[in-house]
A and B are shown apart, each in its own frame.
Chain A
Amino acid sequence: QVQLQESGPGLVKPSETLSLTCTVSGVSINHNYWSWIRQSPGKGLEWIGYIYYSGSTNYNPSLRSRVTISVDTSNNQFSLKLNSVTAADTAVYYCARHSGEVAVAHHYFDYWGQGTLVTVSS
């Protein structure tokens, strides 16, 4: 079965870079889109960005200047880097798989990781 697992430091200092990896199992990362989504404590879901297995990306305009998403097809992983973090970036970070519709405009998230809490604090 398809499984996604986030990994990375749970504590990051302000102004530093948050780095997370999502390891995908049960399916190849190829020929699909993959997203990062976060949820601040007690708040709603915020989409961060997606990557296609080929490496093409699309980011939330509100985070675009600080975000980089990359893919490692050989290890079936994709990663998130968010730089210059502040306390406002404290959140549970989820990785998720897009559904397989041809048109991106119809995509939804059919598999999610369990999420990992990242706290920004000195």
Chain B
Amino acid sequence: DADVTQTPRNRITKTGKRIMLECSQTKGHDRMYWYRQDPGLGLRLIYYSFDVKDINKGEISDGYSVSRQAQAKFSLSLESAIPNQTALYFCATSVERGSTQYFGPGTRLTVL
């Protein structure tokens, strides 16, 4: 079984809809991250969390919110989706400062 899972794997929605992307991990890591991937731009950090009570904005947080429901779960929400939020979204986890980040399989989101 995968250590980091994301649901759904693919989603098509319409402008203005609220969308939630979910991430779960069985690695026991405290740190979790949400990234967005656009063609030619690599991955960019949206939000990150170092534990259940600690959530921080990343490089491109506008239009997104997150919830850390438990050590193993970290959700990303788009309150009112817009077409330029069409992208591949990745969740990642890590153990501690300086450690490698391990990625989930990604969610492809299309906003029409």
Q: Do A and B bind each other?
A: no
Residues of B within 8 A of A (CB): none
Seen from chain A, the residues whose Cβ lies within 8 Å of a Cβ on chain B are: none
